C-alpha cells in the first residue's frame, strides 16, 4: 500500500490501522465505518468512546469494502485530473520566450557555476540551485553561456528542458494540496476545490514556468505540510508504521525546504509549533508514562531536528565538493578556504613567514579587506600617509616584514629567520617605504581610537611607534611547535608596542578623501573581537619552498559556519533605500490585496512579455477567508465562554482548531514575519503563504457550509464550491496572456488593468 | 478567579471524568456562588476550592494569629468578586495612625537637606531651563510630553522663579543667581514622599495585611534610587507618582467590583483613567502603564464574559465604561495638557525650527504673513523643502570640493537673500514668448512646464548632471550645483520640469497651476529624469554644515516635494489673490508635535558615558553620576537588597507560574498554601506590570538610563512585599515579624550606607570603599577625605582636582566629558579622559540646522567670484572641446 493509499484508506476504514497502534488503544475500537456526514472527524473515530455510536455500525464488511474501493478510485481520479491540469498549465508554451527572464539571470547563472565548478556566493542555500545546475548538466550545457539578464539563449542552450525540469516541481503543488486536505479530514469536494485553486492560480503557475528557486521551494513546502497532515492524521496512533513514515517524510521535507531557501525555516517553525503542542497535549495525558514520553521526544528530535540538519549540511558538503575552482565568491570566505580553490593564486606559497617576506594582510572582518596604503595623506590629524582597508587586490596591499629598527636579519636560505608568536616586527609598505605606524592622535571617523598612519622612510627615521608585536590567536594548521607565523593558517593580532593598542578595522568607511575605503584604527579599549584578527593572505619569499596542499586545509564545519554567516550578512545587506521607488519590490501589505503586479522582463511591444500577477479569485477570496476565519473563531470562543454550546461533539471543535491551526497558522507564519524583515521584499515572497491561504479558503468554505447547511454535501455548499472553481478557472484563462506570455503591445490588454496601481502598461506613454 | 478556575477546568474535558460539557459550564455559575461543585474526585482540591473562593476563609486562622496590627477584616478582603461578605474596603484608624508615623519618618528622609547642593545637578540643565521657557512663554521643543515640565514651571512660579536663569551647565550656582531652586525641588520631593502612602494604600487594596502594607511603605521610603531621583528637578518623580496613583486607583477599583456602577466604582475607574493620561503626559513610558492596565482589563472582561450572572446588556455596559474611562479619558487628558502647553508657549522660540510652517504660524512673533498666490515667470521665490523642516533651497558663493566643484546648492534653515530664486523660461520658450503677440503679459507657471531657476544673488542656475553628490553617493543620485555666470545663456542641464503633486482642495486650480504655499510640486530634471531631493544629510565644513540637496532618480514622493513660501514679482497687481499658511487645529498640532518627538526620540542614539542597557538594570550593575564638587557627590544607585529581592520575587513568580502550568496539565491542582488566587491577583498583576515596564526597553535603540527602570522597580517592590505577606501567613506571628523586621533593618542599614551619595553629603573614603561591592559601581571614592584627615579640607594628594563637567542626557552643548576619572592605586588622577562620543547627536544636529550660517565674507567671495566665473568659462570652453562629462552634447545643442 502506498503512502497515499494508506492515508486515503485511513480516512474511510480505520480498521486496517488498528493492528499497528497497539500502543495506546485497547481493543475497543468500534467497527470501521464511513459516514459521509462525519468525514471531517472520521480519523478520530476509533478512540471516540464518549460518542454514542449510531446503531448501524455493524454494517457488513462487503459493503464497506465496496465503499472504500469506490472512494479510493475517486481519490485517484481526482489526483490524476489535478495532475493533468497542473502539467497542462505549467508546461504549455514553456519555451515561448527565448530570453533570460527575471531572476533566471541569477539562478540559471548559479546553476552554471556548478557546471563550471567555480565558487560563487549567494544569499540562498544551495539545494535548489544545485537542482537547476543538475538540469543544466542533463542538457549537456557546457557552461559557456553567462545568462545575462534579458539576453537571448544561444542555440546550444536547451532552456526549454531546464524550464520543464523546474516546472515539474511546480506541477506537484495541486495534487499535494488535494492530498493534504484529504489527510486533514476534508471531503473530496473541498480538497478538489483546493487543488483547482492552487492549479489555476496565475502567480503560482507563472513562477513555476521559469528556472527559479520558487517552484522548488513551493514544492518542498507543500511536501512538508502534506507530511505534517499525515502526522496529524496518525497522531492517535503513535509509533505505528504509518506514523513513522510520515514523521520521516516530515523530517526529510523540512531538510529540503530549508536547503532551498531560508524562507523554508518558516515551514520548520510551523512543524515545530505543531509538535510542541502535540507534546504538551501528551503531557496532559496521565496514562502516558515517562518512558513513553521519552520515546515521543526522542523520535521527534531525531526525525524533526537531526534529519533536517543532516540534509541541510549535506547540501553544503555537495556544494563545496562541486565548486572547487576559484570564482567570484572567493572573497566572502576566509583566506584558508580560498587557498583550497583551484586557481585562487593562494596555492604554492611558502608556509612560514620569514623576515624579508612580502605579504598581504587580510582582516577577519568581512568588508574590511586587505591592509592597504597609498600616497595620499590624511587631510588632518597627523597628516601622515593614509592606511586603509581595501578589498581589491593590487600592489599597494604589499607589506614587507622587517625587524625592529636597529636590527637586521639574514637574507639567504641558510640564515633565514622565521617570524614567531610574540616577535616584534615592523611592517614596511613596499610601494612607498612607509612603516605601519600609530600614535596618540585621534582616529578620523572613530575618534575614540588612535590613528594608524604610514610614517618614515623604512629605517631612515627610527621611531618606536613603528613596532608591532605578533600575538597569535588561532592556528589552523598542524605541527607548528615554534608557533611560527604561517600563511593563511595563522590568525593573529598586531599589538602596537608604544601605545599598547591593537590594529583593528573599525568597521566604518573613511570619507571621500580616502576613496571611502575601510578605516583602520589602533584600538585602545581592548575590543578583542573579530575585527582585530588578521591573517597573511599572499606570501612571496623566493628563499622559501612552497607549502604542501595538505598543510593548508580548512575544515568543513568552519567553512559551513562561515558561509552561512556570510549569507545572513548579504541577506541583511539587501536593504532598500526607503526613499527610492523600486518597480520590482513590493511591501507585505500590498500582497494579499493584489495592489501590485510585477513585470518579469523588458516591456518592448514586440517581445514576449510576462506579468507576474495572481488570480484575483484565489488571492482576494483567500485573503477574505484568512480574515474571516479568526473572526468566526472569536465568535465561537466568546460563545463558549458564555457557556453556549455550538457543537454536538467537543471533537468537532477540537478538529477545527487543529486544522485551522495548521492551515491558517501556516499562512500567518509564512506571511507575518515579512513585516519584521528589514530586507527588500518581493511579491513572490507571498507565494508559500498563498498556498496555505488557498487551502484554507477551500477548508473554510466547507466548514462554514457544514455549520450553516449542516453537511459538507449540502447542495448550497456544493454550489458555492463549484462556483468558486469555475470562477477561478475562468479568471485564470482571462489572465492567461500574463502567465503564458504575450508578444503584442501591452496596451491591448488594457481592459485587464483592474487596479490603477497595476503596471501593465504606462499610461504616460 | 472563580471563572479562571472553571475555565482551566473546562479546557481539559478529560479531567472532568465523564461530566459532559454542559455540566461543567453551568458549574461555573454555581462555583461563583461559592457552592462546592463535584468537579473533581480530588478531595483536597474540592475542599480547597470550596473554601478558596472566599480567600478570607483561607486566612481565617491568621486573623486570630496575625491580628497584631489590629487590622480589621477589610484589609484581607479579596481583590476580586465572588465574595460572600461584600464589605467595603476601608483602612482602620490604627492603620491611619501607623501610616502617619511612617509619613513623619518619610518626610524627614525625603526632604532632608533638599537645598543641597545649591548647584545645577544633572538634567536640571534641561528641565530647569524648560520651566523657565514656560514662564517666558517661548516655544521650545523637547522629546517628552509637557505635563511634568509644566508642573516644574508652576512650582517655579509659586517659588518666585522669573525664568531668567538659564541652567546652562551642571555646577552653576543657584544661590548666587538667586534662583528659588528649593521650591522647584520641593515639588518632586513631595511627589516622591506621597509614594509612601500610595504604596500603603495600594498594598491594602490588593488585599495585603496591615503589617505588609507598612513594610512596603517603609521600603519605598528608604529606597535610595527613588529618593535620589525625586529630590531633583527631573521628570521621573512625576511619572512614578502618576504611575503609583494609577495603580492605586486601579486596585481600589477592584475592591468595588462587587458593586459595579456604584459611585465609588465610577470614581475609582475615572481616576484611574485620568491618571493614566497624566502619566502619559509626563513621559511616554506611560504607554507601558496603559499596556499593563489594558492587559488586566482584558483578563477581567474575559472572566466577566464567563460569569453568566452578568447579562449581555450589563456586560456591554462594563465594556463601554472601561473603554470610555481607560481609552477616551487618557486621550482627552493628554490633549488637554498639550492645549495648556501650546497656550502657555505662545511666543516664537528656539523650538520653532522643529515644526512645520503651519505650526509656526500659530506662534506670536512668527509672521509668515501672506504672499501673492499665483506664480508667474519672472517671479522671485523662496522654495521650502516640504518633508523635512530643514529649510529653503539655498546657494552661496562657495563651491563643492567634490564632483564638479561647481557652486554649492544646499538647504538652509534661515530666511536670507541667498534663498531667492528667479523662475525663468527656457531659452527656446523665452524666444517664442518674445515673438508672441503678448510678450509683456504675465504668464502663470503650469503643471508640466519646463523652467529654469536662477539664483538671485549669484546668477548661477540650478543645474544637475551625471556626477555623484558629496555625501549621498548612490549611483541613482546626481549632484545639484549652481552653474553659469552673469550673461551666460545656460544649457539644457538647467531645465527642470514642474510636476505638481498636491494642491489645496479648497483652492481650485492649485493642482494645475503653480501657486505659492498651496501647491506641493517636484522639480524633475529634464535630461537626467531625476527629482530635486534632500535627505537631511549635512555637508562637511566646506559646505558650512548645511544640508545636502541632490537629484534622485525614481525617488518616492515625500522627500522630493517643495513649496513656494514667498513669491515676489513687481508686475503682480496689488489686488492679486494672496496665499497664507493654514492654522492647524489642536489635534493636528498634537499629532505633529508627537511625530517630531517620536522621530527625535528615536534619533537619540549618541552614546553617553552613563547610558546602560535594560539587562543591567534589575541587578543594578552600575549607577549614574549626577553631580560632584569638592568632596561631595551625588550618584544614583538603589538600595541593593531591595533591588535584588524585588527582582528575585518577580522571577520566582514567573517560575512558579510555569511549574503550575505544567502541573495543572498533569492534573495536580496546587493551592500554594491557599494563596494561589491572591498570588495571581496581586503579585501577578504587579509582575505583569513589571514585565511591561521593563521588556519593551529592549526594543528601543535610543540611549537608555538606569532611571528608566524606576517605575518597574516600584511595581517589583510591591510584588516583593505582597509575596512575603502571602507566604508568611502560615508561619507563626513571631517568625513573620522577624522576617519582616530583618528585611526592614537591612534596607535601612543600606539606606544609611549609601545615603551620602544620595544626598550629596560628606563621606569618608573608607566608608565609600567599604560600600563599593562591585567594581562597576563607579562612584569616585577618592573624592572623599580619609578618616584620619580631620579637617574637611581636601587632602593634599589632590589639591587641584579640576571641576569635572557632568554628563547630561541629550544636552548638546555639554556632556562630552564623562565624570568617571581613572585613578591608579595611589589615587592619582591618571591622564585618561575618555574622548567625546563619536556619534553626533541628532538634536544637536537639528539645532545646528537652524543656527545662522557661518559668516561668509561677501567681499572676499566677490573678489573670488570673478575668479570663479573665469574658471567656469574655462570649463565651458573645454566642454565645447567635447571632453567634459557635464552633458556636453546638450550644452552644444543649446546653441552655445
Is B667 touching A (CB cutoff 8 A)?
yes
Q: Could you tell me if residue B681 is left (phi over 0), alpha (psi between -120 and 50 degrees) or otherwise beta?
A: alpha
A169: closest CA among A139, A132, A195?
A: A132
Measured between alpha carbons, how far is A492 from A534 in angstroms, rounded to an integer?
5
Name the nearest CA neighbour of B59 among B740, B583, B730, B565: B730
Q: Could you tell me if the ipTM is greater than 0.90?
A: no
H/E stretch holding B420 reads strand B420-425
The whole-angstrom distance between B590's CA and the closest CA on chain A is 26
Option in A447, A579, A638 nearest B555 (CB): A579
B554 with A446: Cβ contact below 8 A? no
Report the Cα A193 to chain-centroid distance in Å.
30
Q: Is B454 helix (H, G, I), strand (E, B) or coil?
A: strand
Q: Which residues are within 8 A (CB) of B806 and not within 5 positions of it... i.e. 6 or more apart?
A: B121, B122, B170, B171, B625, B626, B627, B628, B814, B815, B819
Residues of chain A found within 8 Å of residue B836, distances taken between Cβ atoms: 447
Higher per-residue confidence, B125 vs B331: B331
Q: Which of B839, B871, B861, B848 is nearest to B541 (CA)?
A: B848
> DSSP string covering B585-597, please?
PHHHHHHHHHHHH
| Cβ-Cβ contacts under 8 Å for A304 (sequence gap 6 or more) | A247, A250, A251, A254, A271, A272, A275
In tens, the pLDDT along A335-360 reads 888 888 888 878 788 889 999 999 99
With H, G, I as helix, E, B as strand and everything else as coil, classify residue B381: strand
Return the C-alpha cell found at B313: 446588556
Residue in chain A closest to B302 (alpha carbons) equals: A641
Return the closest-CA partner of residue B110 out of B198, B180, B186.
Answer: B186
- Are A284 and B305 inside 8 Å of each other by CB? no
3-class secondary structure, B130: helix
Which DSSP helix (H) or strand (E) runs through B217? helix B210-221
Partner A, chain B 459-478, Cβ-Cβ below 8 Å: 470, 473-474, 476
Residue entry with cell 523540512:
A254
Contacts of A579 in chain B (CB under 8 A): 533, 535, 552, 555-556, 558-559
B116 min Cα distance to partner chain A (Å): 35
**By CA distance, what is A449's nearest residue in B?**
B835
Question: In Å, what is the CA distance from B546 to each residue of B398, B454, B531?
Answer: 12, 20, 20
Q: What is the pTM of this model?
A: 0.81
Cell triple for residue A698?
477551500
Which residue from A minimizes the CA distance to B476?
A: A580
Instruction: Check: CB of residue B631 under 8 Å from CB of residue B785.
Output: yes
Asked if A642 and B305 come within 8 Å (Cβ–Cβ), the reply is yes
Say if residues A347 and A369 touch (Cβ distance below 8 Å): no
Per the DSSP assignment, residues forming a β-bridge with B566 are B382
List phi, psi (to 5°) of A721: -65, -45
Measured between CB atoms, which of B12, B302, B470 is closest to A284? Answer: B12
How many residue pairs bridge chain A and chain B with CB atoms within 8 Å of each other? Answer: 63
**B-chain residues near A516 (CB < 8 A):** 473
Q: Which of A524-528, B491-495, B788-792 has the highest mean pLDDT?
A: B491-495
Interchain proximity A448–B834, CB inside 8 Å: yes
H or E element in which residue B187 lies: helix B181-205
In angstroms, the separation between the Cα of residue A643 and the nearest Cα of chain B is 5
Q: Which of B835, B837, B840 best probes binding to A when mutated, by most A CB atoms within 10 angstroms?
A: B835
pLDDT of residue A2: 46
In this prediction, residue A685 carries a pLDDT of 94
Q: Find the closest chain A residue to B833 by CA distance.
A: A448
- Say whether B635 sits in a helix, a strand or coil: strand
Q: Report helix, strand or coil for A88.
A: helix
Q: Tell me the average pLDDT across A700-710.
A: 89
Residue B594, Cβ density class (10 Å: 0-12 exposed, 13-18 middle, ≥19 buried): middle
CA-CA distances (angstroms) from residue B597 to A303, B600, B702?
52, 5, 13
- Residue B227's nearest CA partner among B637, B842, B682 is B637
Using the 8-state DSSP alphabet, how is residue B581 labeled? P
Cβ <8 Å between A579 and B552 = yes
- The answer to whether residue B12 neighbours chain A at the CB level (below 8 Å) is yes
pLDDT at B871: 54
Q: pLDDT, tens digit, for every residue of A538-569?
A: 899 988 888 887 777 788 998 999 899 989 98
CA-CA-CA-CA torsion sign (B556, B559, B565, B567)? negative
Residues of B in contact with A445 (CB under 8 A): 838
Q: pLDDT tens, B166-208?
A: 888 888 888 888 889 999 999 999 999 999 999 999 999 999 9
CB distance from B530 to chain A under 8 Å? no
Q: What is the pLDDT of residue B831?
A: 37
CB contact under 8 A, B665 and A581: no
Q: Is the Cα dihedral A619, A623, A626, A631 positive or negative?
A: negative
DSSP B683: I
CA distance B362 to chain A (A): 31
CA distances in angstroms from A306 to A298, A561, B335, B831, listed in the order given? 10, 17, 57, 56
Average of per-residue pLDDT values in chain B: 79
B838 touches chain A (CB under 8 A): yes
Min mean pLDDT across A121-125, B28-32, B365-369, B702-706 is at B28-32
Q: What would the pLDDT profile of B583-603 be if each residue is shown by its tens digit?
A: 899 999 999 999 999 988 887
Chain B residues with CB under 8 Å of A583 CB are 554
| B24 touching A (Cβ < 8 Å) | no
B542 touches chain A (CB under 8 A): no
Residue B390: which of B602, B554, B561 has the closest Cα? B561
Tens digits of residue pLDDT in A449-485: 899 999 988 888 888 899 999 999 988 887 888 889 9
- Interchain pair A650, B21: CB under 8 A: yes
**Gap between the Cα atoms of A672 and A659, Å rounded:** 19
Looking at the complex, does the CB of residue B533 fall below 8 Å from at least one CB of chain A? yes
* CB < 8 Å from B in window 554-613 of A: 577-583
A516/B473 Cβ within 8 A? yes
- A284 CB near a chain B CB, below 8 Å? yes
CB burial string B47-62: b at 16+ within 10 A, e below: ebbebbbbbbebbeeb
Of chain B, the percentage scoring pLDDT greater than 70 comes to 78
| Residue recorded with cell 580560498 | A338
Query: Sign of the CA dihedral A251, A256, A258, A259?
Result: positive
Q: Is residue B73 pLDDT above 60, yes or no?
A: no
Which grid cell sits at B203?
A: 498594598
pLDDT tens for residues B471-481?
A: 887 888 899 99
Question: CB contact, 8 Å: A285 with chain B?
Answer: yes
Say yes or no for a CB contact (<8 Å) between B25 and A578: no
Nearest CA of chain A to the CA of B556: how many Å? 5
DSSP summary character for residue B268: H
Distance CA B465, CA B493 (A): 7
CA dist A588 to A592, A612, A676, B17, Å? Answer: 8, 16, 10, 48
Please, which residues have CB within 8 angstroms of residue B27's CB and are 6 or more apart in sequence? B6, B37, B39
Cα–Cα distance measured from residue A55 to residue A103, given in angstroms and rounded to the nearest whole number? 61
- Which of these, A242, A206, A15, lies nearest to A103 by C-alpha position? A206
Amino acid B26: pLDDT: 35
List the single residue in B7, B28, B556 with the smallest CB-CB distance to A580. Answer: B556
Amino acid at each position: 500500500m502506498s503512502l497515499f493509499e494508506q492515508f486515503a484508506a485511513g480516512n474511510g476504514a480505520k480498521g486496517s490501522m488498528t493492528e499497528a497502534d497497539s500502543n495506546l488503544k485497547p481493543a475497543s475500537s468500534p467497527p470501521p465505518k464511513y459516514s459521509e456526514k462525519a468525514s471531517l472527524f472520521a480519523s478520530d473515530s476509533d478512540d471516540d468512546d464518549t460518542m454514542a455510536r449510531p446503531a448501524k455500525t455493524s454494517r457488513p464488511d462487503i459493503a464497506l469494502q465496496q465503499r472504500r474501493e469506490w472512494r479510493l478510485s475517486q481519490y485517484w481520479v481526482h489526483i490524476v485530473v489535478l495532475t493533468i491540469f497542473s502539467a497542462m498549465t505549467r508546461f504549455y508554451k514553456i519555451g515561448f520566450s527565448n530570453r533570460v527572464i527575471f531572476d533566471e539571470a541569477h539562478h540559471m547563472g548559479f546553476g552554471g557555476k556548478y557546471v563550471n565548478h567555480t565558487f560563487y556566493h549567494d544569499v540562498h542555500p544551495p539545494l535548489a540551485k544545485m537542482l537547476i545546475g543538475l538540469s543544466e548538466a542533463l542538457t549537456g550545457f557546457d557552461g559557456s553561456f553567462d545568462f545575462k539578464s534579458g539576453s537571448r539563449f544561444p542555440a546550444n542552450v536547451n532552456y526549454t528542458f531546464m524550464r520543464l525540469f523546474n516546472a515539474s516541481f511546480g506541477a506537484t503543488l495541486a495534487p499535494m494540496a488535494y492530498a493534504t486536505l484529504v489527510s486533514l479530514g476534508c471531503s473530496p469536494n473541498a480538497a478538489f476545490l483546493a487543488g483547482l485553486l492552487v492549479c489555476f492560480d496565475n502567480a503560482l503557475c507563472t513562477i513555476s514556468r521559469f528556472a527559479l528557486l520558487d517552484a522548488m521551494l513551493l514544492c518542498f513546502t507543500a511536501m512538508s505540510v502534506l507530511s505534517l497532515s499525515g502526522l496529524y492524521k496518525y497522531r492517535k496512533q503513535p509509533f505505528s508504521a504509518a506514523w513513522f513514515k510520515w514523521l520521516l517524510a516530515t523530517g526529510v521535507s523540512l531538510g529540503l525546504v530549508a536547503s532551498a531557501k531560508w524562507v523554508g525555516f518558516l515551514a520548520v517553525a510551523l512543524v515545530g509549533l505543531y509538535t510542541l503542542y502535540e507534546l504538551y497535549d501528551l503531557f496532559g495525558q496521565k496514562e502516558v508514562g515517562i518512558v513513553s514520553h521519552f520515546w515521543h521526544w526522542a523520535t521527534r528530535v531525531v526525525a524533526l531536528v537531526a534529519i533536517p540538519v543532516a540534509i541541510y549540511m549535506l547540501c553544503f558538503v555537495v556544494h563545496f565538493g562541486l565548486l572547487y575552482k576559484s570564482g567570484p565568491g572567493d572573497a566572502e570566505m576566509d583566506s584558508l578556504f580560498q587557498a583550497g580553490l583551484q586557481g585562487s593564486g593562494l596555492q604554492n606559497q611558502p608556509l612560514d613567514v620569514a623576515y624579508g617576506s612580502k605579504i598581504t594582510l587580510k582582516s577577519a572582518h568581512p568588508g574590511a579587506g586587505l591592509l592597504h596604503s597609498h600616497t595620499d595623506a590624511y587631510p588632518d590629524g597627523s597628516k601622515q600617509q593614509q592606511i586603509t582597508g581595501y578589498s581589491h587586490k593590487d600592489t599597494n596591499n604589499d607589506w614587507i616584514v622587517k625587524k625592529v629598527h636597529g636590527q637586521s636579519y639574514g637574507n639567504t636560505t641558510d640564515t633565514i629567520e622565521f617570524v614567531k608568536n610574540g616577535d616584534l616586527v615592523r611592517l614596511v609598505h613596499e610601494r612607498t617605504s612607509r612603516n605601519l605606524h600609530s600614535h596618540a592622535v585621534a582616529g578620523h571617523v572613530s575618534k575614540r581610537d588612535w590613528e594608524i598612519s604610514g610614517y618614515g622612510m623604512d629605517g631612515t627615521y627610527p621611531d618606536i611607534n613603528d613596532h608591532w608585536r605578533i600575538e597569535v590567536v588561532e592556528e589552523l594548521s598542524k605541527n607548528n611547535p615554534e608557533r611560527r607565523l604561517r600563511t593563511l593558517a595563522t590568525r593573529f593580532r598586531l599589538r602596537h608596542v608604544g601605545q599598547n593598542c591593537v590594529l583593528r578595522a573599525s568597521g566604518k568607511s573613511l570619507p571621500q578623501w580616502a576613496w571611502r575605503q575601510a578605516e583602520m584604527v589602533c584600538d585602545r579599549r581592548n575590543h578583542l573581537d573579530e575585527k582585530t584578527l588578521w591573517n597573511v593572505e599572499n606570501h612571496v619569499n623566493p628563499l622559501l619552498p612552497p607549502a604542501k596542499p595538505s598543510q593548508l586545509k580548512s575544515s568543513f564545519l568552519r567553512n559551513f559556519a562561515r558561509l552561512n554567516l556570510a549569507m545572513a550578512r548579504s541577506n541583511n545587506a539587501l536593504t532598500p533605500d526607503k526613499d527610492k521607488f523600486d518597480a520590482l519590490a513590493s511591501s507585505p501589505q500590498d500582497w494579499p490585496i493584489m495592489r501590485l503586479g510585477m513585470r518579469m522582463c523588458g516591456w518592448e511591444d514586440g517581445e514576449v512579455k510576462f506579468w507576474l500577477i495572481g488570480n484575483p479569485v484565489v488571492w482576494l477570496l483567500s485573503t477574505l477567508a484568512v480574515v474571516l476565519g479568526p473572526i468566526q473563531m472569536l465568535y465561537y470562543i466568546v460563545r463558549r465562554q458564555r457557556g453556549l454550546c455550538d457543537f454536538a461533539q467537543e471533537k468537532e471543535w477540537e478538529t477545527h482548531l487543529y486544522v485551522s491551526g495548521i492551515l491558517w497558522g501556516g499562512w500567518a507564519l509564512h506571511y507575518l514575519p515579512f513585516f519584521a524583515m528589514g530586507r527588500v521584499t518581493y511579491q513572490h515572497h507571498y507565494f508559500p503563504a498563498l498556498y496555505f491561504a488557498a487551502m484554507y479558503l477551500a477548508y473554510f468554505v466547507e466548514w462554514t457550509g457544514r455549520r450553516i447547511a449542516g453537511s459538507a454535501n449540502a447542495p448550497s455548499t456544493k454550489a458555492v464550491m463549484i462556483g468558486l472553481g469555475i470562477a477561478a478557472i475562468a479568471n485564470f484563462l482571462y489572465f492567461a496572456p500574463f502567465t503564458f506570455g504575450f508578444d503584442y503591445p501591452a496596451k491591448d490588454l488594457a481592459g485587464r488593468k483592474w487596479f490603477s496601481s497595476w503596471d501593465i502598461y504606462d499610461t504616460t506613454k | 478567579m472563580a471563572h479562571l478556575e472553571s475555565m482551566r477546568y473546562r479546557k481539559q474535558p478529560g479531567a472532568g471524568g465523564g461530566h459532559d460539557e454542559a455540566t461543567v459550564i453551568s458549574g461555573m455559575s454555581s462555583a461563583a456562588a461559592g457552592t462546592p461543585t463535584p468537579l473533581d474526585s480530588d478531595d483536597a482540591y474540592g475542599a480547597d476550592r470550596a473554601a478558596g473562593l472566599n480567600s478570607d476563609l483561607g486566612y481565617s486562622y491568621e486573623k486570630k494569629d496575625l491580628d497584631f496590627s489590629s487590622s480589621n477584616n477589610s484589609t484581607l478582603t479579596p481583590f476580586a468578586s465572588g465574595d460572600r461578605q461584600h464589605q467595603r474596603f476601608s483602612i482602620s484608624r490604627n492603620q491611619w495612625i501607623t501610616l502617619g508615623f511612617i509619613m513623619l519618618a518619610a518626610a524627614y528622609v525625603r526632604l532632608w537637606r533638599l537645598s543641597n547642593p545649591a548647584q545645577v545637578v544633572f538634567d536640571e540643565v534641561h528641565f530647569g531651563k524648560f520651566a523657565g521657557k514656560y514662564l517666558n512663554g517661548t516655544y521650545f521643543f523637547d522629546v517628552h510630553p509637557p505635563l511634568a515640565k509644566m508642573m516644574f514651571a508652576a512650582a517655579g512660579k509659586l517659588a518666585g522663579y522669573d525664568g531668567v536663569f538659564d541652567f546652562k551647565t551642571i555646577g552653576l550656582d543657584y544661590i548666587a543667581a538667586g534662583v528659588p531652586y528649593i521650591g522647584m525641588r520641593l515639588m518632586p520631593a513631595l511627589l516622591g514622599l506621597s509614594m509612601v502612602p500610595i504604596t500603603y494604600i495600594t498594598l491594602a487594596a490588593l488585599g495585603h495585611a496591615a503589617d505588609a502594607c507598612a513594610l512596603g511603605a517603609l521600603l519605598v521610603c528608604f529606597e535610595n534610587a527613588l529618593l535620589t531621583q525625586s529630590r531633583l528637578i527631573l521628570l521621573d518623580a512625576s511619572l512614578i507618582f502618576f504611575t503609583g496613583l494609577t495603580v492605586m486607583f486601579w486596585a481600589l477599583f477592584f475592591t468595588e467590583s462587587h458593586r459595579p456602577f456604584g459611585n465609588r466604582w465610577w470614581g475609582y475607574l475615572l481616576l484611574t483613567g485620568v491618571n493614566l493620561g497624566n502619566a502619559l503626559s509626563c513621559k511616554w513610558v506611560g504607554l507601558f502603564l496603559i499596556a499593563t492596565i489594558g492587559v488586566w482589563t482584558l483578563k477581567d472582561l474575559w472572566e466577566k464574559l464567563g460569569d453568566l450572572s452578568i447579562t449581555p446588556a450589563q456586560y456591554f455596559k462594563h465594556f463601554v465604561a472601561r473603554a470610555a474611562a481607560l481609552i477616551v479619558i487618557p486621550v482627552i487628558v493628554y490633549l488637554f495638557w498639550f492645549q495648556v502647553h501650546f497656550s502657555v508657549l505662545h511666543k516664537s522660540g528656539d523650538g520653532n525650527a522643529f515644526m512645520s510652517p503651519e505650526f509656526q504660524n500659530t506662534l506670536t512673533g512668527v509672521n509668515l504673513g501672506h504672499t501673492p498666490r499665483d506664480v508667474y515667470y519672472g517671479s522671485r521665490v523662496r522654495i521650502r523643502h516640504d518633508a523635512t523642516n530643514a529649510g529653503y533651497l539655498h546657494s552661496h558663493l562657495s563651491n563643492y570640493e567634490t564632483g564638479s566643484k561647481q557652486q554649492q546648492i544646499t538647504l538652509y534653515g534661515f530666511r536670507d537673500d541667498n534663498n531667492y530664486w528667479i523662475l525663468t523660461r527656457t531659452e527656446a520658450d523665452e524666444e517664442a514668448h518674445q515673438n508672441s503677440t503678448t510678450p509683456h503679459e504675465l504668464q502663470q507657471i503650469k503643471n508640466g512646464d519646463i523652467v529654469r531657476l536662477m539664483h538671485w544673488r549669484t546668477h548661477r542656475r540650478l543645474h544637475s548632471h551625471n556626477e555623484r553628490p558629496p555625501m549621498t553617493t548612490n549611483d541613482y543620485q546626481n549632484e545639484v550645483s549652481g552653474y553659469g555666470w552673469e550673461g551666460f545663456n545656460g544649457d539644457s542641464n538647467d531645465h527642470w520640469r514642474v510636476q505638481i503633486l498636491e494642491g489645496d482642495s479648497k483652492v481650485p486650480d492649485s493642482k494645475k497651476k503653480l501657486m505659492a504655499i498651496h501647491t506641493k510640486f517636484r522639480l524633475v530634471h529634464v535630461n537626467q529624469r531625476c527629482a530635486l531631493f534632500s535627505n537631511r544629510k549635512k555637508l562637511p565644513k566646506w559646505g558650512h554644515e548645511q544640508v545636502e540637496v541632490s537629484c534622485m532618480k525614481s525617488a518616492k514622493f515625500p522627500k522630493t516635494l517643495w513649496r513656494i513660501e514667498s513669491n515676489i514679482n513687481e508686475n503682480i497687481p496689488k489686488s492679486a489673490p494672496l496665499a497664507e499658511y493654514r492654522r492647524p487645529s489642536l489635534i493636528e498640532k498634537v499629532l505633529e508635535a508627537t511625530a517630531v518627538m517620536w522621530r527625535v526620540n528615536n534619533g537619540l542614539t549618541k552614546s553617553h558615558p552613563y547610558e546602560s542597557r535594560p539587562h543591567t538594570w534589575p541587578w543594578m550593575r552600575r549607577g549614574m553620576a549626577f553631580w560632584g564638587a569638592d568632596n561631595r557627590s551625588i550618584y544614583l544607585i538603589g538600595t541593593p537588597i531591595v533591588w535584588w529581592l524585588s527582582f528575585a520575587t518577580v522571577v520566582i513568580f514567573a517560575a512558579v507560574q510555569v511549574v503550575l502550568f505544567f502541573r495543572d496539565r498533569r492534573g495536580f491542582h496546587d493551592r500554594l498554601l491557599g494563596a494561589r488566587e491572591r498570588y495571581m491577583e496581586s503579585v501577578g498583576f504587579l509582575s505583569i506590570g513589571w514585565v511591561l515596564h521593563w521588556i519593551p526597553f529592549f526594543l528601543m535603540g535610543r540611549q537608555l538610563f538606569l532611571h528608566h527602570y524606576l517605575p518597574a522597580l516600584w511595581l517589583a517592590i510591591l510584588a516583593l512585599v505582597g509575596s512575603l505577606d502571602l507566604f508568611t501567613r502560615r508561619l507563626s506571628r513571631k517568625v513573620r515579624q522577624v522576617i519582616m523586621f530583618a528585611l526592614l533593618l537591612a534596607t535601612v542599614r543600606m539606606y544609611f550606607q549609601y545615603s551620602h551619595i544620595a544626598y550629596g553629603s560628606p563621606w569618608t573614603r573608607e566608608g565609600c570603599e567599604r560600600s563599593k561591592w562591585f567594581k562597576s559601581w563607579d562612584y569616585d571614592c577618592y573624592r572623599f577625605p580619609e578618616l584620619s584627615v580631620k579637617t574637611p579640607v581636601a587632602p593634599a594628594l589632590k589639591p587641584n582636582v579640576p571641576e569635572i563637567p557632568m554628563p547630561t542626557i541629550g544636552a548638546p552643548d555639554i556632556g562630552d566629558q564623562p565624570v568617571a576619572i581613572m585613578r591608579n592605586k595611589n589615587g592619582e588622577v591618571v591622564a585618561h579622559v575618555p574622548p567625546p562620543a563619536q556619534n553626533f547627536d541628532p538634536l544637536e544636529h537639528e539645532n545646528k540646522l537652524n543656527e545662522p550660517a557661518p559668516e561668509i565674507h561677501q567681499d572676499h567671495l566677490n573678489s573670488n567670484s570673478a575668479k570663479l566665473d573665469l574658471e567656469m568659462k574655462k570649463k565651458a570652453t573645454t566642454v565645447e572641446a567635447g571632453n567634459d562629462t557635464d552633458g556636453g552634447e546638450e550644452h552644444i545643442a543649446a546653441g552655445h
